[in-house]
Chain A
Amino acid sequence: MSDEGSFYQRDRSWHPPAFTPQYKTSILRSPQYPLLSLGNTASEMTGPVFGHDEIGPLDNDLIRNFAKTGDPIGQRIIVYGRVLDENARPVPGALLEFWQANAGGRYRHKKETYLAPIDPNFGGCGRTITDGEGRYWFRTIKPGAYPWPNGVNDWRPAHIHFSVFGHAFAQRLITQMYFDGDPMIWQCPIVQTIPDKAAIEQLVAALDRSVTLPMDALAHKFDIVLRGRRSTLFENRMEGN
Chain B
Amino acid sequence: MVQSLRRLKESPSQTAGPYVHIGATPNWVEITGVWKEDLGLVLVGPETKGERIILKGRVFDGSGIPLKDALVEIWQADSDGLYNSPQEKRGKADPHFTGWGRQPTDGTTGEYRFETIKPGRVPYPDGRLMAPHITFWIVARGINIGLHTRMYFGDEEAANAECPVLARIEHKVRVPTLIASRPEENGMPTYTFDIHLQGEKETVFFDI
Partner-B contacts on A (CB < 8 A): 1-3, 8-12, 14-18, 20, 23, 25-33, 35-50, 54, 56, 58-59, 65-66, 84-88, 97-100, 107-112, 123-127, 161, 163, 167-170, 172-176, 190-191, 193-194, 198-200, 202-203, 224-228
Chain B residues close to A by CB (< 8 Å): 6-24, 26, 29-31, 33-36, 39, 61-63, 67, 69, 73, 75, 77, 83-88, 90, 98-100, 107, 122-126, 130, 133, 135, 137, 139-147, 150, 165, 168-169, 174, 197-199, 202-208
Across the interface, do B22 and A99 meet the contact criterion of CB distance under 8 Å? Answer: yes
* With contact pairs A98-B23, A172-B137 given, residues A38 and B31 touching in the complex (Cβ less than 8 Å): no
B33 partner residues in chain A, CB cutoff 8 A: 66
Cβ–Cβ contact B139 & A174, under 8 A: yes
Assess the A29–B207 pair: CB atoms within 8 A: no
The answer to whether A202 and B9 touch across the interface, beta carbons within 8 angstroms, is: yes
- Least CB distance from A178 to B in Å reads 10
Complexed CA–CA distance, A126 and B86 (Å):
25
- Most B CB atoms within 10 A — which of A54, A170, A174? A174
The residue that A173 contacts in the complex, of B13, B15, B62, with Cβ under 8 A, is B13
Partner of B87, one of A12, A45, A203, A228: A45
Cβ-defined partner of A203 (8 Å) among B11, B36, B98, B125 = B11
Q: How far is the CA of A14 from the CA of B6 in the complex (A)?
A: 16
Tell whether, in the assembled complex, residue B123 and residue A174 are in contact, meaning their CB atoms are under 8 Å apart. no
Query: How far is it, in angstroms, between the C-alpha of A109 and the C-alpha of B204 when the chains are bound?
Result: 32
Interface of B is mostly: loop
| Docked pose: A9 CA to B208 CA in angstroms | 7
Once A32-B202, A38-B165 are accepted as A-B contacts, the answer to whether A225 and B207 lie under 8 Å apart by CB is no
Chain B min CB distance to A57 (Å): 11
Cβ contacts under 8 Å, B99 to chain A: 48
- Main DSSP-derived SS at the A contact region: loop
Q: How far is the CA of A193 from the CA of B137 in the complex (A)?
A: 20
Point out the residue from A35, A108, A202 that lies within 8 Å of B11, measured CB to CB: A202
Q: Please name the residue on chain A nearest to B171 by beta carbon.
A: A33
Contact in complex: B125, A43 (CB < 8 Å) = no
Question: Please, which residue of chain B has its CB at the minimum distance from the CB of A196?
Answer: B12
Given A43-B77, A163-B24, A169-B75, is A109 in contact with B9 using a C-beta cutoff of 8 Å? no
Whether B75 pairs with A47 at a CB distance below 8 angstroms is yes
A80, chain B: closest CB distance, angstroms: 16
Tell me if A33 and B12 are in contact (CB < 8 A). no
Query: A10 touches which one: B10, B62, B123 (CB < 8 A)?
Result: B10
B85:A99 contact, CB within 8 angstroms: no
A56 to B39, CA, bound (A): 13
Q: Which of A39, A111, A123, A227 contacts B10 (CB 8 A)?
A: A227
Whether the pair A172, B123 counts as a contact (CB closer than 8 A) is no
Which A residues are in CB contact (< 8 Å) with B207? Answer: 9-10, 12, 35-38
B residues near A198, Cβ cutoff 8 Å: 9
